[in-house]
Structure 1
Amino acid sequence: MKFTVQNINRFLFLKLPIAWIAGVRLTKLAPEATEAKARLKWLSQNPFNSMYFAVQAMAAELTTGVLVMREINESHQSVSMLVAENSAIFHKKARGKITFTCVDAKLVKTTVNNAILTKKGQTVWLNSKAFDQERNCVSEFQFKWTLKLKS
């Protein structure tokens, strides 16, 4: 699979339809970072008129997972990936259009390379921060990814 914003969003539609339905979209796929957006709307809201935490988690996980998927694809090796843990901090209500960003591409590259070279499972914590339209940080997510070269 060629890693483009369009192809990842198509992947969301086909393989993670709940994220697609909730309005999660990848908007940037750069060598050093990824960005996704979600908008507060009827399908993504909680009873308190802000974005439901699960929608935020899907967008945040997407920004980290795409970096891992891309690096595995570029390695031309068969590496399994799985979220083992996650945590989140919510600073304020997420309203309007929320932008999620992960800038851990170098860390991902190192971890995937280590998994391939050592043939041992590796773990890495990746971070995604969410900002509202005024650039206030509304939430922060951490995902512990496990990577292992398939035998």
Structure 2
Amino acid sequence: MLSPLRKANLYLTTFGLLKVPFIWLCRPKIIHLDQSKVEIKIPLKRRTKNHLNSMYFGVLAVGADVAGGYMAMNKAQQRGERVSLAFKEVEGKFFKRPEADVHFICDDGVLIDSMLDETLATGERVNQPVKITAICPSLHGDEPMAEFSLVLSLKKIVKKTVH
């Protein structure tokens, strides 16, 4: 039997491979997942670094996307619901060059739960910013390398009935 974390990583790998190949290419790994927080790690390797030997900012955006989006997808699946998930806005602030593996942390689980509650109750699209912090624990502990604010957009998928 697979552990919940192993199942989550298998789902993420499959999703990346089949739906968003660039996610798969970056090889994100979920290292922590609970009801309030997700932590994703992307290794600094040849395919994820830039000419300065730090993580390419496009890969940093992938990490932020996965950290914010995975939690919402996972919570909807736990409820047995299907939602349409997208990001409507992105803002990134870069503080230091991430010169090692990067961890992306989103601890907006409570906010995402309330967004799901609202869209499932009303059927309307709900938009809220979620925060993701990128750190390099092996070099700088919990000091942020970058911070992202992504406006998460959720809407309940309504099954169409055929008459």
Shared fold (TM-score greater than 0.5)?
Answer: yes
Structure 1 window deviating more from structure 2 (54-63 vs 5-14): it is 5-14
1:137 paired with 2:144, answer yes
* Greater gyration radius: 2
Structure 1 window deviating more from structure 2 (10-19 vs 81-90): it is 10-19
Counterpart Cα distance in 2 of 1:150 and 1:32: 24
Question: Structure 1, residues 4-46: CA drift from partner, whole Å, max 9, x if none?
Answer: 3222322333221432332321111112100011222211111
Return the offset for 1:77: 2.6
Return the offset for 1:3: 9.1
Q: For 2:34, give the aligned amino acid.
A: A
> Which residues in structure 2 correspond to 1:105-144 (within 5 Å)?
105-133=109-137, 134-135=140-141, 136-144=143-151
Return the offset for 1:128: 0.6
Aligned CA-pair RMSD:
1.8
Counterpart Cα distance in 1 of 2:157 and 2:26: 33
- Secondary structure at the counterpart of residue 9 of structure 1: helix
What runs of 5+ residues in structure 1 fail to find an aligned partner?
A: none
Runs of 4+ deviating beyond 4 Å? none
Distance 1:137 1:148, change over 3 A: same
Percent of residue pairs bearing the same amino acid type: 23
What runs of 5+ residues in structure 2 fail to find an aligned partner?
A: 159-163
> Which residues in structure 2 correspond to 1:30-69 (within 5 Å)?
30-69=34-73
State the match for 1:93 in structure 2: 97
TM-score by length of 1: 0.90
Counterpart Cα distance in 2 of 1:45 and 1:143: 23
